[in-house]
Amino acid sequence: MPTAPHKKIPLRMWRHLQGYVGFRPHCDKQIITRISAFFKRGWLFLSGERRPGYWAVLPATVRYDKTLRPNAKLLYAEITALADARGYCWATNSYLGELFEIAPRTIRDLLKNLADRGYIEVEVVRDEQTNEVQERRLWVERPSLPEEDTPPAEICHTPPADFCRTPPAENGHKINTSIDHTPYSPPEGDSAGGVEDPPKKVRRRRTAPKQAPDWKPERFARFWDYYPRGESKQAAIRAWDRLRPSDELIDEMARALERQVNSESWREGIGIPYASTWLNQQRWTDVPKQPPGVASAPDAPIRGEGVRYQ
């Protein structure tokens, strides 16, 4: 019986190499080591076998199991995609780890989580003579019949005991599971059988630009002429109509605006808001800041000055 010339390549893999690419025992050990690494990582396949499927299966029992980690659910879907016609996944922890950029140790913990919940079964195939591990099989659902080249007729996943979602008994409608979902179109004309058409959504028309506000337009005109910025007049007109200031408030706004216009920052053009912003934020109530180095007189006596304690 031929033996593998290198300890890193299992005997079964070496036989495949001899028959597939014509390697002989005198091959360079470095090449053999690299090929062995490609096999272990799942980058090299034999005769078109063991290629991942295009679709992955993630049943509801796995998706909604709160005891499973999110990466475990993703790993389960990949196992179903990698399962071949014999019903098991062949990928190693290194291959799955590099596929999802997860450490192999984490992959092992995720597989244990799936196995503990009963979603997969792990089988290790060893050599009968040397007890060397030849292959690790991840069964999504292991068939009870002997291993065949054809997939099982039906695949059924049994949910765990503590997870049960009972659908309603009858809802009077069939569930549409097809991809093509045709939207509902209401009947039109006389064929509707007396059913009125749903009311159409009326689009709001934009308000036409105004030359002046509805509230005290003459006072607004004076405010607008005096304000140092002339942008967004329509927004200022809308803000004025929403505010609806009284004559007393307008006088107060005029005094505050005169003080702000004469301030040093406004004279330099710094910090001047739009007129609409000035109205919406009630900027006439801003308290002027004292120049640096000038202390303001206290409005109330400081504790200990002019206050007698009993």
Domain-embedded: residue 172: no
User: Does 77 lie in the same domain as 35?
Assistant: no
Q: What's residue 109's pLDDT?
A: 93
Which of these, 269, 260, 261, lies nearest to 289 by C-alpha position? Answer: 260
Please determine, for residue 14, whether its predicted confidence score (pLDDT) is greater than 90: no
Domain-embedded: residue 7: yes
Least confident range from 100-114, 194-208, 229-243: namely: 194-208
Please determine, for residue 257, whether its predicted confidence score (pLDDT) is greater than 90: yes
User: Does 14 lie in the same domain as 61?
Assistant: no
User: Does 133 lie in the same domain as 84?
Assistant: yes
Please determine, for residue 297, whether its predicted confidence score (pLDDT) is greater than 60: no
Domain-embedded: residue 134: yes
Please determine, for residue 217, whether its predicted confidence score (pLDDT) is greater than 90: yes
Average pLDDT over residues 168-183: 52
User: Does 25 lie in the same domain as 118?
Assistant: no
For residue 137, report the phi and psi dihedrals to the nearest 5 degrees. -115, 130
Domain-embedded: residue 265: yes
The pLDDT confidence band at residue 159, using thresholds 50, 70 and 90, is low
User: Does 27 lie in the same domain as 56?
Assistant: no
Q: What's residue 134's pLDDT?
A: 83
For residue 94, report the phi and psi dihedrals to the nearest 5 degrees. -65, -40
Residue at a domain's end among 103, 135, 164: 164
Segments forming the whole domain that contains residue 73: 50-164
Domains held by the chain: number: 3
Q: What's residue 4's pLDDT?
A: 46
Number of Cβ within a 10 Å radius of residue 75: 25
Q: What's residue 53's pLDDT?
A: 72
Domain-embedded: residue 299: no
Q: What's residue 145's pLDDT?
A: 45
Residue at a domain's end among 125, 141, 164: 164
Which of these, 59, 51, 99, 101, lies nearest to 76 by C-alpha position? Answer: 59
The alpha carbon dihedral of 172, 176, 181, 182 has a sign of negative
Domain-embedded: residue 306: no
Q: What's residue 162's pLDDT?
A: 54
Angle ∠(277,282,288) on CA atoms, nearest 5: 105
The pLDDT confidence band at residue 100, using thresholds 50, 70 and 90, is confident
User: Does 118 lie in the same domain as 17?
Assistant: no
77-81, 84-88, 296-300: which is most confident: 77-81
CATH number of the domain within which 85 lies = 1.10.10.10
Please determine, for residue 10, whether its predicted confidence score (pLDDT) is greater than 90: no
More confident of the two residues 163 and 91: 91
Please determine, for residue 51, whether its predicted confidence score (pLDDT) is greater than 50: yes
The pLDDT confidence band at residue 131, using thresholds 50, 70 and 90, is confident
Domain-embedded: residue 93: yes
Number of Cβ within a 10 Å radius of residue 201: 6
Please determine, for residue 280, whether its predicted confidence score (pLDDT) is greater than 90: yes
User: Does 13 lie in the same domain as 60?
Assistant: no
Please determine, for residue 178, whether its predicted confidence score (pLDDT) is greater than 60: no
User: Does 62 lie in the same domain as 5?
Assistant: no
Q: What's residue 76's pLDDT?
A: 92
Average pLDDT over residues 288-302: 57
User: Does 133 lie in the same domain as 68?
Assistant: yes
Domain-embedded: residue 178: no
User: Does 73 lie in the same domain as 141?
Assistant: yes
Q: What's residue 301's pLDDT?
A: 45
User: Does 267 lie in the same domain as 231?
Assistant: yes
CA atoms within 13 A on the CB side of 155: 17
Token pair 């007729």 is found at 153
16-30, 37-51, 204-218: which is most confident: 204-218
User: Does 95 lie in the same domain as 34?
Assistant: no
Please determine, for residue 227, whether its predicted confidence score (pLDDT) is greater than 80: yes
Q: What percent of the chain has pLDDT over 70?
A: 55
